[in-house]
Amino acid sequence: MLNYYRTFNSRVQYINKDIQAFLYEELRQYEATVGDMTVKERAELYKWVADENSPYENPCLLCEENGCPMDYIHAARVTEDMGNNPDDYKFSSETGFIVSENETPF
């Protein structure tokens, strides 16, 4: 069965109710483990999940050092820090990754 909701730009989007229920259960569990979030982060996370995405994934496809995808809030914080402090990050030709000046790669 399909459910619909109106997005921020007023278009109607249809989602399968089972998928929606699964994602909101995932969101509930995620919120219990992620810790503190700002109001802005929480609003962006809810919009991300409403667009049929898992809170354990991110739109930038950023990954942890072990190759697993970063969760939404962690990726949002990393990209915000990269935007605010671009001189702290550089591309490592050894690893092929962007690394922080303050961390040693692998």
21 domain residue, yes or no = yes
105 domain residue, yes or no = no
Tens digit of each residue's pLDDT, the chain (106 residues): 445 444 444 455 566 788 888 999 999 999 999 888 999 999 999 999 988 899 999 988 888 878 888 899 988 988 887 766 656 666 666 665 565 655 544 4
Cα end-to-end distance, the chain, whole Å: 47
Q: Does the reported pTM lie above 0.75?
A: no
64 domain residue, yes or no = yes
Query: Phi/psi class of residue 35: alpha, beta or left (left: φ > 0; alpha: ψ in -120 to 50)?
Result: left
- Spatial separation of the C-alpha atoms in residues 30 and 48, rounded to whole Å: 13
106 domain residue, yes or no = no
Owning domain of residue 60: 2-100
Which phi and psi angles does 99 have, rounded to 5°? -125, 155
- Spatial separation of the C-alpha atoms in residues 34 and 75, rounded to whole Å: 12
85 domain residue, yes or no = yes
92 domain residue, yes or no = yes
36 domain residue, yes or no = yes
Tally of structural domains, the chain: 1
CA 10 to chain centre: 23
